[in-house]
Amino acid sequence: MPTPGQKAPDFTLFNSDKQEVSLGSFQGKNLIILFFPMAFTSVCTAELCEMRDNITTYADLNADIVAISVDSPFTLAKFKEDQQLPFNLLSDFNKEVSQAYDTYYETFVMNLKGVSKRSAFVIDKEGIIQYAEVLDSAGDVPNFQAVRETLASLN
């Protein structure tokens, strides 16, 4: 698993607007990367809505947010619209980024293969990981207080 102090694995993924977004797009800003198992599920919805509801807190900490799942860009577009999420949802449909960040279930519930684990990473302005949390239980949510504290220490 990528750990604090390491360079964050680079990526380029399509967002829900079918535009490419890469890690380099956020150079000069802090970035929160959230991996989540599946759009429209209860815990994922609650997690991303918590980020939505606290978006000004993260903006004040000079941080952008992206949320990544293996859902298609089309599914993510509907999820983003339904939940009014003000940040990029990125499709890791090919599962390469989830694997690069070692946040990946080979087999998930209902024998679904290749689903992102719920996790949170804070990447600093230079692309270095400052916080990493990968959860084995999809029912848990990341420690958002620790994410905020990490961001505050970077400013």
Instruction: Concatenate the DSSP letters of all residues of 29-84 into one string.
Output: SEEEEEE-S-TTSHHHHHHHHHHHHTHHHHHHTTEEEEEEESS-HHHHHHHHHHHT
Nearest to 150 by CA among 134, 135, 136, 129: 129
pLDDT at position 42 is 92
pLDDT at position 113 is 85
Residue 29 Ramachandran class (φ > 0 left, ψ -120 to 50 alpha, else beta): beta
- For the chain, the structural domain boundaries read 29-154
d(CA 61, CA 54): 11
d(CA 99, CA 60): 31
For strands 129-134 and 119-123, give the pairing: antiparallel
C-alpha 45: how far from chain center: 13
Nearest to 33 by CA among 112, 106, 130: 130
Residues marked active site are found at: 44
pLDDT, averaged per 10 consecutive residues of the chain (155 residues), comes to 94 97 95 97 95 97 97 98 98 97 88 91 97 94 97 93
Q: Which residues contact 91 (CB under 8 A, 6 or more apart)?
A: 13, 14, 15, 16, 68, 69, 70, 71, 72, 73, 76
CATH class of 29-154: alpha beta
Nearest to 83 by CA among 51, 123, 61, 112: 51
For strands 63-69 and 30-35, give the pairing: parallel
